[in-house]
């Protein structure tokens, strides 16, 4: 029975490229999450106190919801 080795080292720079792309992806995800929270806070701040009370919130809750 013959054994064949199928592993080989990664090409030069592949790991560095992967880490750079992964870091950019993480930054993009963080920016998307920040923008979603910003849009949510902005929409909630537009509501009246009565409308906020209807959904069970008060003005002080808006900052925590956006996080």
CA dist 53 and 60 (Å) reads: 12
Tell me how far CA of residue 65 lies from CA of 13, 14, 24, in angstroms. 42, 40, 26
CA dist 49 and 59 (Å) reads: 7
* Cα of 64 vs its chain's centroid, Å: 17
* pLDDT tens, position by position, 8-35: 777 888 999 999 999 999 999 999 999 9
Check whether 1 has a pLDDT greater than 70: no
Among the listed residues 49, 46, 67, the one whose alpha carbon sits nearest the alpha carbon of residue 58: 49
CA dist 6 and 10 (Å) reads: 12
pTM of the full structure:
0.69
């Amino acid at each position: 029975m013959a054994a064949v080795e199928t592993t080989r080292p990664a090409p030069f720079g592949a790991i560095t490229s992967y880490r750079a792309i992964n870091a950019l992806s993480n930054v993009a995800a963080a920016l998307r999450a920040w923008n979603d929270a910003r849009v949510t806070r902005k929409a909630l701040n537009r509501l009246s106190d009565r409308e906020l009370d209807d959904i069970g919130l008060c003005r002080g809750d808006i900052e925590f919801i956006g996080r």
